[in-house]
């Protein structure tokens, strides 16, 4: 089973990396770890790939600790050490701040924005122009629906996305990888489960969209693939001007 899942995952990651030319020889890549199956799988894939490709790149794992009680940063450090890579932890108060009375925005939006800002700052310090994040195919589809429902626009995350006039580039090597495959791979690899202590984790807008899409997918197995393909087959002439 593991060999089949690994082959499927390696194929989808390789497809994304090559189609968008995500990583070049000599790149210094900051990998954003969250402790979830996606980011742990991403780090494993990028590290394992180094032994098979004719280029070299350096990986720097970074975890932005949001500052909730019962955090798992120490456990994540020990796990990373056991996997053969050093983890840098940035301790912040972004989580409690985003859920406090001083924040008038959606807590998830503010927390995400602050964590992303800190990742860019650390990337600059480490000399990394590439930031690898663990967003997968399901995340990209969900973001499309989030933006339509709550922002009134048709947009989503890109597999390769430049920031600050090209000073940094966010890459998403799992862009073609299904969440289900990643979960199966993480289970077969016995990746530890780090519990997200965020109070909004189970009640966020993304969780609502995910539940809606799961219901839709159950009605027709082709729907998910069709939605994903539709984002690269846009007909502007048939959209409202």
- pLDDT tens digits, residue range 182-219? 999 999 999 998 887 777 776 688 889 999 999 999 99
Q: pLDDT tens, 81-131?
A: 999 999 999 999 888 888 887 776 778 888 888 999 999 999 999 999 999
**Does a structural domain hold residue 238?**
no
pLDDT at position 202 is: 67
Cβ–Cβ < 8 Å for 160, 135: no
Residue 132: give the domain boundaries: 2-233
Distance CA 61, CA 63 (A): 7
Tell me: is residue 71 an annotated ligand-binding position: no
Tell me: is residue 34 an annotated ligand-binding position: yes
Give which of 90, 63, 101 is closest to 194, Cα–Cα: 63
pLDDT at position 100 is: 82
**Does a structural domain hold residue 239?**
no
**Does a structural domain hold residue 144?**
yes
The share of the chain scoring above pLDDT 70, in percent, equals: 98
pLDDT at position 2 is: 67
**Does a structural domain hold residue 205?**
yes
Tell me: is residue 127 an annotated ligand-binding position: no
**Does a structural domain hold residue 241?**
no
Tell me: is residue 26 an annotated ligand-binding position: no
**Does a structural domain hold residue 174?**
yes
Mean pLDDT (whole number) for 5-14: 95
Tell me: is residue 139 an annotated ligand-binding position: yes
Q: pLDDT tens, 27-80?
A: 999 999 999 999 999 999 999 999 999 999 999 999 999 988 888 999 999 999
Tell me: is residue 38 an annotated ligand-binding position: yes
CATH of the domain at 196: 3.40.50.620
The partner residues of 61 in beta bridges, in order of sequence, read: 31, 87
Of 1 and 63, more confident: 63
Tell me: is residue 27 an annotated ligand-binding position: no
Quote the radius of gyration of the chain (alpha carbons, Å): 18
**Does a structural domain hold residue 240?**
no
Asked if residue 1 has pLDDT above 70, the reply is no
Mean pLDDT (whole number) for 172-182: 97
pLDDT at position 122 is: 97
**Does a structural domain hold residue 186?**
yes
Q: How many CA atoms lie within 13 A of 28 on its CB side?
A: 11
**Total domains present in the chain:** 1
């Amino acid at each position: 089973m593991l060999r089949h899942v690994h082959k499927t995952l390696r194929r989808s990651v390789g497809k994304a990396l090559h189609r968008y030319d995500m990583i070049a020889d000599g790149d210094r890549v900051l990998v954003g770890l969250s402790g979830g199956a996606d980011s742990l799988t991403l780090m494993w894939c990028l590290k394992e790939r180094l032994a098979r490709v004719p280029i070299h790149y350096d990986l720097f794992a970074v975890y932005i600790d949001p500052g909730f009680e019962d955090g798992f940063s120490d456990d994540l450090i020990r796990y990373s050490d056991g996997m053969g890579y050093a983890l840098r932890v940035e301790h912040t108060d972004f989580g409690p701040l985003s859920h406090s009375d001083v924040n008038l925005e959606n807590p998830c939006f503010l927390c995400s924005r602050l964590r992303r800002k800190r990742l860019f700052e650390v990337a600059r310090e480490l000399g990394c122009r590439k930031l690898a994040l663990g967003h997968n195919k399901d995340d990209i589809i969900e973001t499309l629906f989030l933006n339509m429902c709550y922002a009134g626009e048709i947009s989503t995350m890109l597999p390769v996305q430049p920031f600050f006039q090209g000073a940094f580039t966010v890459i998403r090597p799992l862009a073609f990888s299904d969440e289900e495959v990643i979960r199966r791979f993480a289970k077969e690899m016995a990746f530890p489960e780090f519990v997200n202590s965020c109070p909004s984790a189970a009640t966020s807008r993304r969780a609502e969209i995910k539940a809606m899409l799961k219901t839709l997918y159950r009605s027709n197995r082709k729907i998910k693939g069709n939605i994903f393909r539709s984002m690269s087959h846009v007909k502007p002439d048939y959209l409202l001007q």
